[in-house]
Amino acid sequence: MAKNFIQPGNTLTIPAPAGVLSGDVVIAGEIVGIAQGDAGAGEPCDVTTVGVWELPKVAADAVTVGAPIYWDADDSLATTTAAGNTRLGTAVEAAASGAATVKVRLIG
């Protein structure tokens, strides 16, 4: 292994940008992931940046497999709407309009 290798980067410890609970989506600049524990704003927070996660979604959105998924931070919901939202990843399973959740592979 190269002498300058630090870690795989699947889970990063960063200051929480706001108060978070375990399982919350965390967005800090270009870092997008899922909180692995509770943390107050500015406290160290382990954030996993890879994997497939079931997340709450905008009920009106019908999601197809492979669709890009974004995070609506105002409503704390996954959505297919890009405008004004942060890219989270890709849907790995269809989710009908009216469904409460969507399975998303993070962009890592």
**Least confident residue range of 2-6, 55-59, 67-71, 82-86:** 2-6
In a shared domain, residues 34 and 67: no
Containing structural domain, residue 31:
11-48
In a shared domain, residues 56 and 101: yes
Chain-centroid distance of CA 97 in Å reads 20
CB 102 within 8 A of CB 63: yes
Q: What is the pLDDT of residues 9-68, one digit of tens each?
A: 999 999 999 999 999 999 999 999 999 999 999 999 999 999 999 999 999 999 999 999
pTM: 0.92
In a shared domain, residues 64 and 99: yes
pLDDT of residue 86: 97
Q: Mean pLDDT over residues 71-94, rounded?
A: 97
Number of domains in the chain: 2
Exposed / middle / buried, residue 105 (Cβ in 10 Å: 0-12, 13-18, 19+): middle
Determine the Cα angle at 76 with ends 71 and 78, to 5°. Answer: 40
Q: Mean pLDDT over residues 80-84, rounded?
A: 97
Pairwise CA distance, residues 55 & 73, whole Å: 13
